[in-house]
Amino acid sequence: MMTPAALNGFGSLISFILSISALRDWAKLLIIGSFFETCRRLLATLWSSTIDSFFLTASFEDYDDSYKWMMIWLSKQPSWKNVRNVNISTSERYLGHAPRSEEELDPSGKPKVSYLPAVSGSYTLWYKYTWMRITRISEPIPGWGPNNRDSLTISILARNHDILNTILQDAKKAYQDAQGSSITIYVSDSTNCWRELATRRKRPLDSIILDPGIRELIVDDAEDFLASKRWYAERGIPFRRGYLLYGAPGSGKTSLIHSIAGELELDVYIISLSRSGLDDTGLSELISDLPERCIALMEDIDAALHNSLSREDPPTPPNKTAEPIPIPSPGLPTHTTSRVSLSGLLNALDGIGAQEGRILFATTNKYSSLDPALCRPGRMDLHVEFKLASRHQADELFRRFYLPSSPKTPVDDDQEPNSNPAQSHPNGSTHDGGSSNLIDLGIPENTVDSPLPSPPACSEKYERVAPTYIGMRHRGHAPKLSSEQLSALAAQFASAIPEREVSMAALQGYLMSRKSRPLEAAREVSAWLQRELATKKAESETKS
């Protein structure tokens, strides 16, 4: 309790302070300033609340698929062409990847430009009688050099989410229509984030020629898995499926995966275990960030983890010394190799953080070198062997190769429409004009595969030397074959192929070199096989 003397002293101090006119003026300014600042903040909050009650704001980041939806949707809006500040682009990244119609191409056959929101700009447009403002921002990623992260913000004059849901549905449909007959390929970057690499056209399933039943086995199993999410949930089983495709190189493993991705309309995420700088933690992050419906692809898994998967380096011959390991020079950048271990891979595949709903495909050419823990059910549920080509596959490949072209395939300008169909072709085939069962390969028949053109005239002091090359030129025109002729040639071709001696890739390469000469392809395959098998034998003896 303060004494009367203390109270008198405190009162005297206050009186002294108030007697100073400058301090009184400062106190008045402080009070007035605080009052106006409080009012300003209240008004700003009130204004923001009022605006928020009438506007709906949505943000889209470039690492999310919805960002691509909106960019494609905006590029297709008619009102967007009236915007005064835009980015011009012919890139397919935001324009879709479906085959372009003639209206979307200029007279030279190149794609037309499209309008996209310029960075750091705001634009207004009307959509279905609704006003909206669009802002696109690009910000650098700290610590990652020149990389930027884009975002798109849309403010809509609306009280509820109905118009936003409509826009999202329209944008998604526009994206799906733009994708058309394509699938998207993703790879991981140095920050362990998924980035779009490219788009590829869907490959028809019937273009993959395998032993009977293999294609149907994998496709039916994958379709049944994708439709069984509820069944897995009711039984508490992780909703994951793994396929291990093993066998000889060039037997169609990767081609089948490409075709299945198109058939099931799934994007492909390539997991490169040998990527520089990738470790167990980064691998777990990548797999946990996979979307629910996708294909995760690990190619040549035996080679990617040769140390962990018991694929040892070949011993150094006694008459040779080991090559010294190069030492990087000071000041030059060094690249760290992958540090993924087998245990890290196993935990990433079926650990607690592993994504569910994805389909994993792994390929290998050396099945026996894989660790049993990697191949067990739950990680690799279905193991399918791909063998070298059979006679059945050779027959089907030949028929597929020389099928008639699509009616929409453009015909060369030098085709003569009134040429006599009942003529003997230079390669020895004859065909009767007017037959309804003729197979037209879509290539003019009146032009034969000619030798290389002679070099242009030059001074006699220079020697004329014909160019030297290896392989068959991508030129020539095929005859018209009837169905019976094609069947006979396919049978002749297949009968010359030994069972399980050459790969389908080798047969396809052989037919590619004779893509317009089916008679030669069937007649010369035996000689080609002798050379091919002799080369393989020599390579095998060299390795041993």
Give the Cα-Cα-Cα angle 334, 337, 339 (nearest 5 degrees): 135
pLDDT for the residue 460: 52
User: What count of Cα atoms within 13 Å lies in the side-chain half-sphere of residue 182?
Assistant: 19
- For each of the domains in the chain, give its residue range(s) and CATH number, in order of start: 55-180 (no CATH), 194-307+338-386 (3.40.50.300), 388-406+476-544 (no CATH)
Which residues are registered as beta bridge partners of 182? 201
pLDDT for the residue 448: 40
Q: Are 156 and 148 in contact (CB under 8 A)?
A: no
pLDDT for the residue 374: 93
The helix/strand/coil state of 462 is coil
Torsion, Cα of 493, 497, 502, 504 (10° steps) = 40
Q: What is the DSSP string of 236-303?
A: T----EEEEEEESTTSSHHHHHHHHHHHHT--EEE--TT-TT-BHHHHHHHHHTS-SS-EEEE-SHHH
Q: Which token pair is 348? A: 């990433």
Q: Which token pair is 92? A: 């397919």
pLDDT for the residue 452: 44
pLDDT for the residue 277: 86
Helix (H) or strand (E) holding 359: strand 359-364
The helix/strand/coil state of 386 is strand
One digit per residue, the tens of pLDDT, for the chain of length 544 reads 556 666 666 667 777 666 777 777 788 888 899 999 999 999 998 888 887 788 889 999 988 889 989 988 988 888 777 777 777 777 655 554 444 444 444 555 566 676 777 887 788 888 888 999 999 888 887 655 556 788 999 999 988 889 999 999 999 998 888 887 889 999 998 888 898 888 899 999 999 999 999 999 999 999 999 999 999 999 999 999 999 999 999 999 999 999 999 999 999 999 999 888 899 999 999 999 999 999 999 999 988 766 444 434 444 444 444 444 344 444 434 444 668 889 999 999 998 888 899 999 999 999 999 999 999 999 999 999 999 999 999 999 999 988 876 554 443 443 333 433 333 343 333 344 434 344 444 444 443 444 444 445 544 555 556 566 565 565 555 677 888 999 999 999 999 999 999 999 999 999 999 988 999 999 999 999 999 999 988 988 888 7
Give the Cα-Cα-Cα angle 101, 102, 103 (nearest 5 degrees): 90
Q: Which token pair is 527? A: 């000689």
The helix/strand/coil state of 186 is strand
CB atoms within 10 A of CB 474: 9
Q: Name the amino acid, one letter, at 507.
A: L
pLDDT for the residue 145: 53
pLDDT for the residue 235: 94
pLDDT for the residue 251: 94
What percent helix, strand, coil does the chain show, rounded to 5?
A: 40, 15, 45
Q: Are 367 and 253 in contact (CB under 8 A)?
A: no
Q: Are 489 and 522 in contact (CB under 8 A)?
A: yes
Instruction: Order across the sheet with 148-157: list the strands.
Output: 55-61, 148-157, 130-140, 121-127
Torsion, Cα of 440, 441, 443, 447 (10° steps) = -80
Q: Are 388 and 503 in contact (CB under 8 A)?
A: yes
Give the Cα-Cα-Cα angle 49, 51, 57 (nearest 5 degrees): 105
Q: Which token pair is 294? A: 């996708």
Question: Which residue, chain included where needed, has tokens 């890290």?
Answer: 344
Q: Are 182 and 265 in contact (CB under 8 A)?
A: no
How far apart CA 260 and CA 257 sit, in angstroms, is 5
How far apart CA 365 and CA 455 sit, in angstroms, is 46
Length of the chain: 544
CA distances from 284 to 192, 361, 524 (A): 10, 17, 52
Q: Name the amino acid, one letter, at 508.
A: Q
Q: Which token pair is 419? A: 């040429």
Q: Are 199 and 182 in contact (CB under 8 A)?
A: yes
From first CA to last CA, the distance across the chain in angstroms is 104
Q: What is the DSSP letter of 82?
A: G
Q: Are 441 and 425 in contact (CB under 8 A)?
A: no
How far apart CA 165 and CA 153 sit, in angstroms, is 15
Q: Which token pair is 461? A: 């002091």
Q: Are 129 and 23 in contact (CB under 8 A)?
A: no
Nearest alpha carbon to residue 534 among 495, 501, 491? 501
CA distances from 462 to 451, 465, 466 (A): 22, 9, 13
Nearest alpha carbon to residue 97 among 63, 68, 126, 70? 68
Residue 25, burial from CB neighbour count under 10 angstroms (0-12, 13-18, 19+): exposed
**Prediction pTM value:** 0.73
Strands 382-386, 241-247: pairing is parallel
